[in-house]
Each structure stands twice: as C-alpha cells, then as structure tokens.
Amino acid sequence: EDISDDESNAGDDPTKTPLDQNPHIALIKQAKTVPVDAGVGDKITYLFKVTNLGNVTLSNVRIDDVKLGLSDLAVEPAELAPNGEGFVEAEYVITQADVNQGYVQNTAIAQGDYTDTNGDPQTTEDISDDESNAGDDPTITPIAPPVPIPTLSEWAVILLSLMLMGMVWRSQGRFGANR
C-alpha cells in the first residue's frame, strides 16, 4: 500500500490544498428605543448586529463607538462562525447639542480576529450601516423636541384672545346670528 505524496511518487508527504480565506464582518447599528419628546439626559438604546459574512471563524468580536464612549464592547457570542450573528445593546445619553441639532448621528466599528494561513493573527473590521450589511451609512436618530405645555398665565392669554376674536367675528356677522 502506498500513501500519496504532494510532489512525487517516492515520498509520503501529505497533500496540502490551499483554501482562500475571505474574512468579512458587517455591522448594522439601529436605535431600538427613543423616548417620546426626548430631551437632554434621556437615553437612546442602540442595537448592534454583527454578521460574519466571510469564510473564516472570527473571535473576540467587538464594537467601538466613539460617540457612545464604547471601546472593545464584547458581542454575544464573541466567536462567530461563517454566517453567524452576534448582538449587543448600548445606551447613549442625549446632550443639548443633540437636541439643538434635532438628531443624533454617528457610526460604529465592528472588529473580529482570525488567524491567517501562515498562523499570524489578523483583524477584520467594518464601519456600521443603519440598515444593510453592504453599506457604511451613519445611523441618524431623530429627536422630537418636547412639546411645551402652556403655563396658567399663558392659558389665560390664549382664552382671552379666543374670546376677543369671537366677539369681533360676531360683530362682523361671521359667527352666529347678529341680532
């Protein structure tokens, strides 16, 4: 019985078939909860979804998001096989600058580690998109300004104005019968 060889008929070395590595990670960042009438100090909860679109297993999968103050936030699970998905949530506290702008806008970065065919450690990364694994569009979260509630004195002015308008309209025959 003869064992195969990768280069000649005389040896018994194993045959090596190189496979191309295609590491590819994708990140989608979306606002999960935004308070109604959000204001300074309120919190937005973001959901990060990381997908391994490559053909190598990724380990130590993590998120960096400067605006949210995140560095190396671990994704669950932290190891993703090809086509695997991992998730993590984080909160952001709304600032006055966000309210003045009317929205919060930013991106995050997902990273995952793998070992190349030479045995060397490598990292792949992706900038987040707001809805697709293919893009790098920033996540824009609109902030609705609080609806002001009139004070008692403001209600009095509103009521008086309405009464005066009614009297003027009535005198002009626009409101009810003028007798």
Q: Residue 123's closest CA among 69, 59, 27? A: 59
Overall average pLDDT of the 22-42 stretch: 93
Q: How many whole angstroms separate alpha carbon 159 and alpha carbon 155?
A: 6
Tell how far CA 48 is from the center of its chain.
6
Report the pLDDT value the prediction gives residue 165, as an integer from 0 to 100.
Answer: 80
Taking CA atoms, 147 is separated from 144, 150, 152, in Å, by 9, 10, 16
134-158 residue pLDDT tens: 999 999 999 976 667 778 888 888 8
Task: State the Cα–Cα distance between residues 138 and 147, nearest whole angstrom.
Answer: 27
Band (pLDDT 50/70/90 cuts) for residue 131 is: very high
Q: How far apart are the first and last CA of the chain?
A: 121
Q: What is the pLDDT of residues 43-74, one digit of tens each?
A: 999 999 999 999 999 999 999 999 999 999 99
